[in-house]
Amino acid sequence: MDRDKTYFLLLNIGHFLDHLFTLVFATVAALVLYREWNVGYAELLAYATPGFFAFGLFSLPMGWIADKWSKDGMMCVFFIGIGLASIATGFAETPQQIGIGLFVIGMFAAIYHPVGLAIVTMKWKNTGMRIAVNGVWGNLGVAAAALITGYLIDFAGWRMAFILPGAFSIVMGFAYMALRREGIREDQEAKKDAGAAPGPVSESYRSAIIRVAIIVFVTAAVGSIIFQSTTFALPKIFDERLQGLAVELSGLLDSLAKGNEDGVATVIGSLAFVVFAVASLAQVVVGSMLDKYGPRNVYMVVAAIQIVFFALMPGLTDGIALAVAFGFMLGAFGQIPINDYMIGKTASGGYRARIYGVRYVVSFTVLAASLPMIAFVYDNWGFDTLFWILAVAGIVIMCAVLSLPKSLPQPDSAPAPAE
């Protein structure tokens, strides 16, 4: 494998680990700690809240440091720092100690999105596909967190669920450092030669990028509502809407007794997993379309898919509900790479990581705020009302996308990316 492919692979492994580390505690708390420490599950989750807060809040300063110092240098800090923090968390003896450990994990986890994505978008020409592939690796980290953590809990104890991935991340950090040592040195020298601030930009470019940035932040915020609502609520939606289909499918499996309640729950969980897994591949399709058709046209198609399938969902059950759920989840996952693509194409190198930082502060703040909204709507009106709200959110995204220029503004002077 040549150095360029290894570089991209390490960036993808970083995205995988970033999402894995932020979700290890969810499985540990659910399966082990509530019994071992005699602390309620809901109370344990409260100790994870500061970590998720740090995950979003520190995105902006981490991006600023990367722009001022070195993006590759910050990636080394990410791998080694989050690995050490995870190992330390594995030795926690009290909920307070594990809460501190999760906060530090969140701080280092905040590095990846503004820095890793900035590298991906400035390094290679086929930006859309690269972002999409990188996004799929992040999704694999989400999906693998429970699987890997559960296995380590069963065969090595819950502490190893923090310690072993932490050790692996440190090894990846030193591998990244060895690969990019010259790049880090050149990056630092270039920063010194360029001075403390990026060079001046033309007034036309400044006004154009402000326009695109506003649209990106609006669609990122509204898109985060859609993403969080669908990914968080889908298992419960299926539990309510697919009971008939689940009973039928459970009767077809030799290992499950017909009509058995546990069998139905297993089928519902499996259906949710399949929908998530298949829909996440929409990012690859969208990524290839971005490079060919541009973000405005692709985003309009994705927004239209969301509007149509959310509007169709109210009142549906069983097989037709499953099919429609595939549709709106394709839209929810498909929107993920578009905003990152637009930032990568329009932001100059001196500002790119900071703009990614702001974008993820917005996204993660809205993600956190969406959970109370979902609970309130469900408790008062049920999921049908939530689907109509999400359809309206799709309309808001469509209106914002219509304001995008047909071609994105380009930095006044940008280095030519590699193939």
State the pLDDT at residue 88.
Answer: 97
User: H-helix or E-strand containing 287?
Assistant: helix 282-293
At 39, give phi and psi (nearest 5°): -125, 135
Dihedral Cα 400, 306, 56, 158, nearest 10 deg: -170
State the pLDDT at residue 58.
Answer: 92
**What number of helices (H) and strands (E) belong to the chain?**
19, 0
State the pLDDT at residue 343.
Answer: 83
CA distances 331 to 338, 372, 389, Å, are: 12, 23, 15
Tokens matching residue 74: 């910050």
Q: How far apart are the first and last CA of the chain?
A: 16
111/97 Cα distance (integer angstroms): 22
**Cβ–Cβ contacts within 10 Å for residue 353, how many?**
30
Q: Model confidence over 344-394: pLDDT tens digits?
A: 778 766 667 778 888 888 887 887 777 678 878 888 999 999 999 999 999
0.85 exceeded by the pTM?
A: no
Domain boundaries, the chain: 3-194, 203-402
Q: Which CATH class is domain 203-402?
A: mainly alpha
Asked whether this chain's domains 3-194 and 203-402 adopt the same fold, the reply is yes
State the pLDDT at residue 284.
Answer: 87
Dihedral Cα 32, 35, 37, 41, nearest 10 deg: 80
Q: DSSP code of 407? A: S
At 201, give phi and psi (nearest 5°): -120, 160
Query: Please, which residues have CB within 8 angstroms of residue 37's CB and are 6 or more apart in sequence?
Result: 44, 94, 95
Q: Model confidence over 189-203: pLDDT tens digits?
A: 666 655 555 556 677
State the pLDDT at residue 117.
Answer: 87
State the pLDDT at residue 252.
Answer: 66
State the pLDDT at residue 193.
Answer: 56
252/237 Cα distance (integer angstroms): 22
Ranges of residues in the chain with a pLDDT under 50 are 254-262, 413, 415-416
Question: May I ask the CATH architecture of the domain 3-194?
Answer: Up-down Bundle (1.20)
